[in-house]
Amino acid sequence: MKKNATKKASPSASKTEEIHIGLDSKVRGLAVKHLSAILADQHVLYTKTRNFHWNLTGHRFHTLHEFFEKQYDALALAIDETAERIRMLGSSSPGSMQEFLAQATLKEVKGALIDGDHAIAALRDDHEAAAREVRKAVDVLDEAGDAGTADFLTNLLQQHEQAAWMLRSFLD
- Write the pLDDT tens digit of every residue in 139-157: 999 999 999 999 999 999 9
In whole angstroms, what separates CA 149 from the centre of its chain?
Answer: 15
Q: Model confidence at 64, in pLDDT bands (50, 70, 90)? A: very high
Could you read off the pLDDT of 11-22 as tens digits, one per residue? 444 466 677 677
pLDDT above 70 covers a percentage of the chain that reads: 89
Instruction: Give which of 25, 62, 47 is closest to 126, Cα–Cα.
Output: 47
Distance between CA atoms of 87 and 82, rounded to whole angstroms?
A: 9
Is the pLDDT assigned to residue 47 strictly greater than 90?
yes
The DSSP line for the chain is: -PPPPPPPPPTTS-SB----SS--HHHHHHHHHHHHHHHHHHHHHHHHHHHHHHHEESTTHHHHHHHHHHHHHHHHHHHHHHHHHHHHTTBPPP-SHHHHHHH-SS-------EEHHHHHHHHHHHHHHHHHHHHHHHHHHHHHT-HHHHHHHHHHHHHHHHHHHHHHHHH-
What is the predicted pLDDT for the residue at 15? 63
> What is the mean predicted confidence (pLDDT) over 35-52?
98
Residue ranges and CATH numbers for the domains of the chain are: 25-171 (1.20.1260.10)
Could you read off the pLDDT of 80-115 as tens digits, one per residue? 999 999 999 999 999 999 999 999 999 999 999 999
pLDDT above 90 covers a percentage of the chain that reads: 84
| Average pLDDT taken over every residue of the chain | 91
10-38 burial string, b = 16+ CB within 10 Å, else e?
eeeeeeeeeeeeebeeebbebbbebbbbb
Using alpha carbons only, give the angle 31, 152, 170 rounded to the nearest 5 degrees.
115
pTM above 0.85, yes or no: yes
> What is the mean predicted confidence (pLDDT) over 129-143?
98
